[in-house]
Structure 1
Amino acid sequence: MSDTAEQTGRHIERPEESEPLSDAEQRKRRRERRIAAYRGARQVLARPGFLGTLRERLALLDEARALDLHDLDETVDLYGDGIVGALEEKVAGLLGKEAAAFFPTGTMAQQVALRCWAGRTGNPTVALHALAHPEMHERDAFSQVSGLRPVHVTSEPRLPTADEVRDFDEPFGALMLELPLRDAGFVLPSWEELIEVVEAARERDAVVHFDGARLWESTVHFGRPLEEIAGLADSVYVSFYKSLDGFGGAVLAGPQTLVDEAKAWRHRYGGTVFQQFPTALSALAGLERELPRLPEYVAHARVVAAALRDGFAAAGVPWTRVHPEPPHTNEFQVWLPYDVDVVTEAALRQAEETKTVLFGHAWDAKGPGLACTEVSVRAAGLEWTADDVKTAVAEFVARLNEEVSK
């Protein structure tokens, strides 16, 4: 959960001092309050595992052992063999690809994938969205580390169109599509639009790579199985902790020759870790436990989103936006016409006072008097009815009005 949104928060006084806290100290305290509220809440829409205790996270390994996901009498993995190899094979099968390589991070996996494709195409230019994860959250890693040259097909809050790809004014060796596009609101194109975009890239002799960190939950929107979705791309990256609640890790899947080269570059990047069996076992547990439930989460996210909209209307909030509507995945955005410090404090107070977390992510300032946050619906959220959501909205708006009047 990013805290960059809270830079504009109001000053919070230290009990023993009159000097206001710095922005960094305010962000730190608010994050601590959010985590504490999550920990103490009785009702949440999602309970992310990464906020758990060490004991709770280790229990996931006990669960994996109980599920009999792998032969635990097998010798532990060394530099990517054993259970890591078994995980690679399983994910390659799920995505319908020849082979797969396990990486400690998606940042590394995608740099390696695209530099391998650059060697094959002879063009280091990567066409991608201006809001794509490498551009927003990776400190220019493509250009600073991997010799790639990112160019932006569009900056609109949607996926690129076929015409934008076809008419782009310079050559590129690879088109990278983030599915769903998180910073635009976890949005996806239609299935027909996605096919047209891929075909447009191929017309330009470019390869297509899917940033599929959250691809797992796209099947409901597309109405297609994972294998068919991934089959549109030359290579695909998927994450194990964003949707599947694993400890970390990622897989790059594609042709055998690409994966073989990727493993060589993985070694050079320092990603061939000595032993990774806890992370691999947690990934296998996530595939077993969470993957089959993701369609249920997506369906209920649409119930929650509609109830949020109706609840804010009933509470008299002058304007609100649920984006996209209906949600394309089990995650979406909520926009409200208030300063970010006001909605942040109202959300924290509600969580602390009622033990119900409606908005547990940080709020981003999108302009004067405009704030946005992300909402995630997971297993815990399935317990909420539409009426539960509307009740929580009313409680939130009551505190929102109190903050506005201060």
Structure 2
Amino acid sequence: MSDAAQTDRQGAEHVKRLSDDERRKLLRERRISASRSARRLLGRPVAQRTLRDRLALMERAADVYDLDQPADMYGDGVVEVLEDKVAGLLGKEAAAFFPTGTMAQQVALRCWAGRTGNPAVALHALAHPEMHERNAFSQVSGLRPVRITSEPRQLTADEVRGLDEPVGALMLELPLRDAGFVLPSWEELTEVAEAAREREAVVHFDGARLWESTVHFDRPLDEIADLADSVYVSFYKSLDGYGGAAVAGPQTLVDEMKAWRHRYGGTVFQQFPTALSALVGLELELPRLPDYVRHARVVADALRAGFAAAGVPWTRVHPEVPHTNEFQLWLPYDADDVAEAAVRHAEETRTLLFSRPWAAPVPGLAVTEIDVRAAGLDWTADDVRTAVADFAERLKSSG
């Protein structure tokens, strides 16, 4: 046995002795390393980029703001410029900057609860506050979530009309990430907003990725936002900023939110790095997002064709025609086997087809999220099919 083969065998035996958690941690480290060294990729998540990569964003700061102005203090200066920019893009009177989206939406909805006299918030069971915020609405802000459905789709107007109790607000996540980045049709969205107002509830959009929705709705941002009383947006999920969020709405609501922002500890002494990165993202990434969405549809079709040609029993791209530049891919294999094959493919070819983890909703099924960004625009459909064929070879040998 050669030295290389002996080393590979010893390494494989070592991995077998690891616990499931240890193996997954090692796989994550390998995936991140492969991402950083990849020559070709569809999109690299912000979390996988180096500090040097992230700091390079500031090279464009002078293009979006006068750097000879004084630094911000407790929400003035560049933070106010960003707030005005967001309010203008969304067609609202004003906007308030927050360090996190979790804080931003709690504050917005507790302010609405004070105005309506009703702390109940109707929302999807797969919405971000229910899935990823440790019950913050009820535990921190005195709000009472009312789950309308847990099905992997958007809410319907009939479901809103059929609620058996009054609610103060309806929160809609656009797109609904945990259901596959799905959006309603424009007609459906309009009807849902109307149904909420028939019940005298305000409409709040969880628009963390709303920036990506204009192609699907075939409407500009301000027309989409006009359906809601308030709109939350994120600066890092689509725009590559360092973090941060904003809520846009009526001036009186924004004034009240800023008071609560202070109480929640969100009026940070200086926020200029985050604010500048958000302005850069609005300048550079926002205009590119429609191209990412359109190309994601090319990639989705090529993935389906590639797996069919490789003899995979079935493949599901969800939604079938992506609503944004992000979508789900489902495969009929064990998630650990798929994840190992994906990392090996990236390590051996330096082509990163899958940059995000693989989950196992049930045994024998694997699902991941595909994110098409600037790097992915260079991929043709043939490029995608070739990468799928290379990956499928490794998948078959790892099962």
TM-score (norm 2): 0.96
Q: Does 1:344 align with 2:339?
A: yes
Residue 51 (1) aligns with residue 71 (2)? no
Contact kept in structure 2, 1:13 and 1:20, CA below 8 Å: no
For the aligned residues, what is the CA RMSD? 1.5
Distance 2:206 2:119 in 1: 17
SS at match of 1:366: coil
Q: Which residue of 1 aligns with 2:149?
A: 154
Please list the CA deviations of residues 287-310 of structure 1 after superposition, one character each: whole Å capped at 9, or x if unmatched. 000000000000000000000001
Unaligned runs of at least 5 residues, structure 1: 1-11
Per the TM alignment, residue 19 of structure 1 is displaced from its structure 2 partner at its CA by 8.0
Q: Which runs of 4+ in 1 moved over 4 A?
A: 12-19
CA distance in 2, matches of 1:108, 1:282: 20
How much does 1:48 deviate? 3.0
Q: Pick from 19, 22, 26: which aligns with 2:19?
A: 22
1:269 to partner: Cα distance: 0.6
Inter-partner Cα distance in structure 2 for 1:224 and 1:31: 38
Q: Does 1:295 align with 2:294?
A: no
Residues 212-251 of structure 1 mapped to structure 2, 5 A cutoff: 212-251=207-246
Report the CA distance between 1:24 and its aligned residue.
Answer: 2.9
Contact 2:44 2:355 in 1 (8 A): no
Q: How does 1:202-351 map to 2 (within 5 A)?
A: 202-351=197-346
Check conservation: 1:13, 1:21, Cα contact below 8 A.
no
Distance across 1 between alignment mates of 2:396 and 2:193: 48
User: Which residue in 1 is equivalent to 2:366?
Assistant: 371
Alpha-carbon distance, 1:22 to partner = 2.9
Query: CA 1:35 to 1:131, structure 2 compared with 1: closer, same or farther past 3 Å?
Result: same
TM-superposed CA distance for 1:29, in Å, is 1.3
Task: Write the distance in 2 (CA, Å) between the matches of 1:14 and 1:147.
Answer: 52
SS in structure 2 at match of 1:363: coil
Q: What fraction of aligned residue pairs are identical, expressed as a percent?
A: 77
Name the structure 1 match of 2:109: 114
Checking the alignment, whether the CA contact within 8 Å between 1:14 and 1:20 is kept in structure 2 is no
Q: Distance in 1 between matches of 2:357 and 2:58?
A: 30
Instruction: State the SS of the aligned residue for 1:367.
Output: coil
Is 1:169 matched with 2:164? Answer: yes
- SS of the aligned residue for 2:17 comes to coil
How far apart are the structure 2 equivalents of 1:185 and 1:123?
31
Change (3 A) 1:377 1:16: closer
Offset, 1:26: 2.2
Aligned to 2:381: 386
User: In structure 2, how many angstroms separate the alpha carbons of the residues matched to 1:175 and 1:126?
Assistant: 6
Q: TM-score, normalised by structure 1?
A: 0.94
| Per-residue Cα deviation, 1:138-192 (whole angstroms, up to 9, x for no partner) | 1111011111110111111111000000011111110000000000000000000
Equivalent pair of 2:328/2:368 in contact (CA under 8 Å): yes
Residues 262-306 of structure 1 show CA distances to partners (whole Å, capped at 9, x for unaligned) of 001111111000000011000000000000000000000000000
Q: Once the 2 structures are TM-superposed, how far is the Cα of residue 246 of structure 1 from its aligned partner? A: 0.4
Matching residue within 84, 88, 97 for 2:92: 97
1:8 counterpart residue number: none
